[in-house]
Amino acid sequence: MLDIEKFAKTGQLFDNHYKLIRPLSTDGGTADVWLALDAKTVKDRSRLDQVPTMTPQELDELGLVVAIKIYRPKNALDIEGEQRFRDEYMIVFNCNHTNLLHPTNYSIFEEMPYLVLPYCRQGSSEKLIGKLKKDADIWKYIEDVASGLAYLHAQTPPIVHQDIKPGNVLIDDIYNYAITDFGISSKKDGKHGYYFDDENNGTLAYMAPERFNENADPLPQSDIWAFGATLHELLTGSVPFGEEGGYAQTEKHVPMPTAPGVSADIQRLIHACLAPDPDDRPTAQQLALAARQKQYPVKSRKAFYITLALLGMLLVGGLSFLLGTSTDPEEEPKIPVEQLYLTALHRMDCNNLDSLKIGIRMMDSLSSTNYVPAIYQMAFTYGWYSDSVSVRRKRLLGIDIDEQYMPRSDRHSNEAVALFTRIVRLNDSTYADINAQAAYRLACYYVMTNNIYKPNYEKGKQFLLQSRQWATMAGDRELLNKIERGLASFK
C-alpha cells in the first residue's frame, strides 16, 4: 500500500511531478487533499528542498501552487472503473462556470487516482460558520452557490453534487464562492453508478430525507436540501436537524428550525430548501434569481418591472405619465430600460444622501437584470477611482478612502471587483467601451500597489490585454494609451 505521507517527509516527488507540502484536508471519506507545488513549473529545481520552510509568497514566486486530491488506496480502481474515471473527468472538465472549481488535470499513480485543482488561499466557507450575519453577505453566498448548482443541474444528464456543505464551498482570490468536489463521484446517468467505495456518498448532517431511502437515485432537489442545511449552519453555527440530517427531520419529526435575526425573506428561502418533499423545494435557478432580487419568493418578472417603472416615474415627478395609460392588468408599462437607468443616474448624481441611496437601489435592481451600464455604475460607486463623482458618492455614503482614493474597507473593494468581473464575464459586445473600462480597472487592482490585493502581474497583464481588445473596438484612444503604457511595464 502506497504511503502518501512519505512523499512529504522524504521530499520525493509524487508521480514524479508534484512536491507535496502539507495536507489541507484528511477528513473526506475517500480522499485526502494536499497542498503541492508543480515541480515542472519550477526553473530552479535545486530550491525544491527549501519548499517546506518557504512563505506563501516565496512559493508563488517559485512555481505553480495547486491542491491535489488523492484517493486513498482502498479506493483503487479496476479496469472498468479506471475508464469511467477518465470519461467522467472529461465531462466535468468541460463544466466551466465562475462558481465551480473544477480539476485542471488528473492521473493515476500506483493504482490511486488523483485530481489537480486550483488552490484557494482563502480556504472554505467553514470559517464563516456562525459568522455570516449581514443580509448582503448572505445573498452573495446564496447567489454564488445557487448559480454553480444551477449550472450543474442543467447538464444532460444532470450532475448532482451529493455533498454540498460549508467545507465544499471554497473562497477564491476575489471572494467569490466556488463549489468544489463535485466531479468524478457525483454524476449518475443510469448507465453506471459511482466509482469509489464511499459508505455514505455524502455527509449525514446535510443529506436530504429521500437519500435515506434504499437504492435512492441522485436528485438535484437533494442538493437544494443540503444547501438549505448549509445556509442554516452558516447563520446559526449549527446544522438544522443534528448529525442525522433529513432522517431526523422525517423519522424523528424534528421541527423546522429558525435563524434568529435573519430577514424574513432569507428565512423563507431556507425553509423552502429544507422542505421534506423534494417537489416542494425551489430549483437552484430560482434561488439564484431570488438572491439577485434579494427577496423570496421572487415576484414575477412582470411585477418586478412594473414596480421599478413606477418608482422611476414617481422620482422624476412623472405622475402625469400615468394619465391615459391602459388599466388592463395584462399590459405592462412600456418604460425603456434606458429611461429607468437615466432616472437612477440622476438620483445618484444629486448632492444628497437620500437621493443617492434611492438611485443606488434603482441601479442595483437594474444591475440584477444584467444591464451592463447599471452594473458599471455600481462598481464606479464602490471602486477605486479618483474621479470626483465617484469620490463624492463615497463620501456621501460614509465610505472611508485612503490618500489614493481607494476604499479602506475590504468589503467595498471586493464588491467593486466582483462587479467589474461580472461585466467582463458577460462579454456583451453592445458595451465595448464599458467592457474595456471594467477590464482596465481589474488590471489596476492587480498591478498597482494597494493594501487590499497582492500583486499578480500575470493576471493584471491578462486583464490589460482584454481591455485593449475592447478599447480598440470602442475606438477609445485615451484608454488605449494607458493600456499600452501598462503593457510596456511588463517588458
Q: What is the DSSP string of 120-160?
A: -TT-BGGGGTTT---HHHHHHHHHHHHHHHHHHHTSSSPB-
- Asked if the bond preceding 297 is cis, omega within 30° of 0, the reply is yes
**Distance, C-alpha 10 to centroid of its chain:** 37
DSSP assignment of 433-480 equals HHHHHHHHHHHHHHHS--SSS---HHHHHHHHHHHHHHHHHHT-HHHH
Q: What is the DSSP string of 272-288?
A: HHT-SSGGGSPPHHHHH
Catalytic hit among 163, 181, 223, 476? 163
Q: At what angle do helices 477-488 and 432-447 cross, to 10 degrees?
A: 30
426, 370 Cβ separation under 8 angstroms: yes
- 126-135, Cβ contacts within 8 angstroms, sequence gap of 24 or more: 126/166, 126/167, 128/166, 128/234, 129/166, 129/233, 129/234, 129/237, 130/233, 130/234, 130/235, 130/236, 130/237, 130/238, 131/234, 132/234, 132/235, 133/235, 133/261, 135/263, 135/266, 135/294
163 catalytic, yes or no? yes
Based on its alpha-carbon atoms, the radius of gyration of the chain, rounded to whole angstroms, reads 25
Q: Which three cell numbers stand for residue 82?
A: 479506471
**Cis omega (within 30 of 0) on the bond before 157?**
yes
Residues composing the chain: 491
121-151 burial: b if 16+ Cβ within 10 Å, else e: eeebbeebbeebeeeeebbbbbbbbbbbbbb
Grid coordinates in use for 63? 512555481
Q: State the greatest distance between any 2 C-alpha atoms of the chain, in Å, as a whole number.
A: 83
Q: Which residue is it, cell 479602506?
A: 408
Q: Is the dihedral of CA 414, 415, 419, 422 positive or negative?
A: positive
Active-site residue set: 163
